[in-house]
Amino acid sequence: MNKGALLVISGPSGAGKSSIVRELLKQIPNAAFSVSTTTRQKREDEVDGVNYHFTDKKSFQKDIDEGAFLEWANVHGNFYGTSLKQIAKLLDEGKLVILDIDVQGYMILKEKLERFTTAVFLTTKSREDLKTRLLLRQSDSEEAIEQRLENAFEEMAYINRYEYLVINDDFKTALAQMLNIAHAASNKRTLTDADKFIEAWAKSLK
C-alpha cells in the first residue's frame, strides 16, 4: 500500500553529505541511493556508476533535450542530474531513495514530487569549519575552495525551504539525527493511500 519515499540531503560541499549517506545505506535495509549523472571530473576515490554516472557536457545536454532528468542543475560550472526512470523504478519498489542534490535541484524536485519528499539541509557549525574541511580534503585549489565557500553562503538562504536542519559538528550525533529523520520519512501519512487503508482496516473485523 505504501510506495517509496524520497530523502533529499542538500548542503555545502565539504559538510559531510557523502559520509552520512554511506552510513544511512548501511543501517537502513530498505534504502537506495539515487546515483546522479554529472559532467565534473571523477576524483581518485570515486567509482563510475557508484558515486556518480560520469559523462560529458554534450551527452548531458542530449539527456536534457530528451527529458531524461527529473531535475538537473549547473553547480560550480558542472552539470548534475537525477534520472527520472531510476527514481520511478525505486519508488515503485517501495524504497527509501536517498538523493544528494543541491538546492537548485531540490526546488525543482519539490514541485514535482513534494508528496514523497522529506528534505534535510546538512551543514557545518561555521564557515571556518567548512573551510578547514575543504582544505583537509586536498581535492580543490585555493581558488576553487573560495568559490565553494561563496556558494555555500548563497545556499544558506534556502535553509527555510527544508523541513530539517542538521549541523554536522559531531558525526555520531548528526548521523543519529539523520536516521531518525529517515525513519520518519518512510512513514509519512502522505505515502499511504488513506482511503484504501481505511477500507481494508474496516474489513479486517471478523
Q: What is the pLDDT of residue 1?
A: 44
pLDDT at 190 over 70: no
φ, ψ at 193 (rounded to 5°)? -75, 95
pLDDT tens, 41-98?
888 888 888 889 999 999 999 999 998 998 888 877 889 999 988 898 998 899 999 9
Residue percentage of the chain with pLDDT more than 70: 91
Segment 136-157 shows an average pLDDT of 84
In SS3 terms, the chain reads as CCCCEEEEEECCCCCCHHHHHHHHHHHCCCEEECCCEECCCCCCCCCECCCEEECCHHHHHHHHHCCCEEEEEEECCEEEEEEHHHHHHHHHCCCEEEEECCHHHHHHHHHHHHHHEEEEEEECCCHHHHHHHHHHHCCCCHHHHHHHHHHHHHHHHHHHHCCEEEECCCHHHHHHHHHHHHHHHHCCHHHCCHHHHHHHHHHCCC
Please give the residue that has the higher pLDDT: either 130 or 75: 130
Domains delineated in the chain: 5-192 (3.40.50.300)
Please give the residue that has the higher pLDDT: either 40 or 196: 40
Binned at pLDDT 50, 70 and 90, residue 39 comes out as very high
Segment 7-20 shows an average pLDDT of 94
Please give the residue that has the higher pLDDT: either 153 or 174: 174
Of the candidates 9, 25, 7, the one whose C-alpha atom is nearest the C-alpha of residue 17 is 9
